[in-house]
Structure 1
Amino acid sequence: MTTRQGPTARARILELNGTTARERRDDLAGEEPLEIRLTAADGARKTVAITMRTPGHDFELAAGFLHGEGLAGPSDIAAIAYCTDEDLPPEARYNTVTVRLHGPLPDLPALDRHFLTSSACGVCGSASLDALRERCAPLPPGRLRLTPEVLYGLPDALRAAQGVFGKTGGLHAAGLFTATGSPVAVREDVGRHNAVDKLAGWAALTDRLPLTDHVLMVSGRTSYEIMQKALAAGIPAVCAVSAPSSLAVRLARDFGMTLVGFLRGERCNVYAGQERILV
């Protein structure tokens, strides 16, 4: 019988506490490979990504990844389903997602090499800033404005919505919030970039793109990949509890985005897009 993998797994562990040792069960964050395949209207198909992810919201992850990399937008997708190929072992079928397109496979150089990703680093070296400029325009100023009080409340609001993290302590999260700090959607994964892809995929599949009036809050640091995915989704402001990379700051400044880092307690650093912060 084919079964889906869950976001958590159980393990027997030895817990040490001072000089006391005891065996007990522990919840672990699930991590399984996900293969993303594209199938064209003429039947042609190709694997475009293999990523390590936490099972759950897999269709959103696939849609968000394809949109963020410029391979397929919401209007290009006819259907998304788990793979039912008979040549796959049953345990692998829920680790393979097939995205059926209305038209042909995208004719992009990126498809000449598969995106081999991991839960840790995202699509390593997938695109330079110059390549990104060819498909993404700088974001307009828009209406989004954020007060320091809203910013200071985002980390706790994100943490409060992390259901699986509360059980395992081992997942990153990405949360979409309004200008007043109200949560819109939160996704968890062992990889920060996967969590953002799941959010973007949710927005794509529910016809909410672009997310021009929202702020993205992520756990951990902010990398180039995170900013690239936020830009593709039209998100003008990205906040994180830790530091951004130099390329993330450069991307934010080049594309008119607001980037906030070290958001802890009642302090933070604004690296780009200060005009959206009401001080």
Structure 2
Amino acid sequence: METFLPPTSYDYLTVHKVTGAELTEASDVVAAEEPLEIRLGFGAAGQREHRTLAITMRTPGHDMELAAGFLLTEGIIQRREQLAGIRYCPDVTKEEERENVVRAELAEHVDVSMPRLERHFYTSSSCGVCGKTSIDAVHAAACPVLPTNGPYVSPTVIHELPARQRAAQALFEQTGGLHAAALFSPEGELLLLREDVGRHNALDKVIGAALLQEWLPLHRTILLVSGRASFELVQKAAVAGIPVLAAVGAPSSLAVQAARDFGMTLCGFVRQGRYNVYCGEWRLQARPE
């Protein structure tokens, strides 16, 4: 697991702390939030087009993984070989754009849906990509079928995940202001963790890292997210082939419906030695003989 944190992932500020009626000056660390523009290059040699695909507010760091995960979970690509490369855009004109603009180049043979690109996918760190109004639309994007033969997970493993995730959150320990998404094995071993000010960005970074390492589909993993479980997080997990999603917070009604339709195991309120299982409880039972 990568632990290096870019210096731009956090900022030092002077704050005033209040204890009772006493006001004192102190130094504090806050999570950085900056815009990332994702540009897309596509087309045959000599006829390449470049367009802005998305602008999202994120915590700097793991930007290539974020872009790769976004391309996969939004249906632009389906496999690692469709991605020719990702790099920071070299032809930006403003200093503040340096390392805040990435360009993903698709392989020449990849067919790009122009109507999908024209949506321009403007996102924010708080709500992710908006506008999905039905689960049918996600199914239409060739979402992979989740395995029906496991993995089988001991119910006690789920209890242990939040503490293991928190222990690996180096940036959260400094700032207290970040979401995390973490992949675990069915036995509870931490495989991969990413942090970001946005829940959706943290998950896209995890999925992007797995895509770039050619781990997909993630059929033998558990995903833990630090906040609530929304429809978009369930959708992104399903696209990556993740069969078990656990959340520290509550799921939405549409998240439960989507997880049930996808055949996913969904757990919520995973904290303080308890949790609820909203669907797919069969994966938390003993392996059948």
TM-score (normalizing by structure 1): 0.95
Match of 2:33 among 31, 41, 49: 31
Residue 162 of structure 2: aligned partner: 155
Match of 1:226 among 233, 240, 257: 233
Compute the RMSD of aligned alpha carbons.
1.4
Structure 2: runs of 5 or more not aligned: 1-5
- Please state whether the residue corresponding to 2:233 is helix, strand or coil: helix
Match of 1:58 among 56, 63, 67: 63
CA deviations 1:123-170 (Å, max 9, x no partner) are: 012463111111114312133111121010001111111100000000
Quick one: distance in 1 between partners of 2:120 and 2:106? 18
CA shift, 1:17, in A, is 0.9
Further displaced range: 219-228 or 137-146: 137-146
TM-score (normalizing by structure 2): 0.92
Please give the residue correspondences for 1:124-139 in structure 2 after superposition, counting only pairs within 5 Å: 124-126=130-132, 128-134=134-140, 135-139=142-146
Match of 1:102 among 99, 107, 115: 107
CA deviations 1:258-279 (Å, max 9, x no partner) are: 0000111221100010110126
Residue 15 of structure 1: aligned partner: 17
Amino acid paired to 1:226: L
Quick one: distance in 2 between partners of 1:169 and 1:208? 30
Please give the residue correspondences for 1:65-76 in structure 2 after superposition, counting only pairs within 5 Å: 65-72=70-77, 73-76=79-82
Quick one: distance in 2 between partners of 1:173 and 1:157? 12
Amino acid paired to 2:166: R
Contact kept? 1:38, 1:105, Cα under 8 Å:
no
Give aligned pairs, total. 275
Question: Is 1:210 paired with 2:217?
Answer: yes
- Over 2 Å off, 4+ runs: none
Contact kept? 1:45, 1:105, Cα under 8 Å:
no
Contact kept? 1:44, 1:105, Cα under 8 Å:
no
Structure 1: runs of 5 or more not aligned: none
Contact kept? 2:147, 2:219, Cα under 8 Å:
no
CA shift, 1:231, in A, is 0.4
State percent identity of aligned pairs. Answer: 50
Amino acid paired to 2:66: L
Distance 1:226 1:91, change over 3 A: same
Residue 112 of structure 1: aligned partner: 118
Please give the residue correspondences for 1:179-198 in structure 2 after superposition, counting only pairs within 5 Å: 179-198=186-205
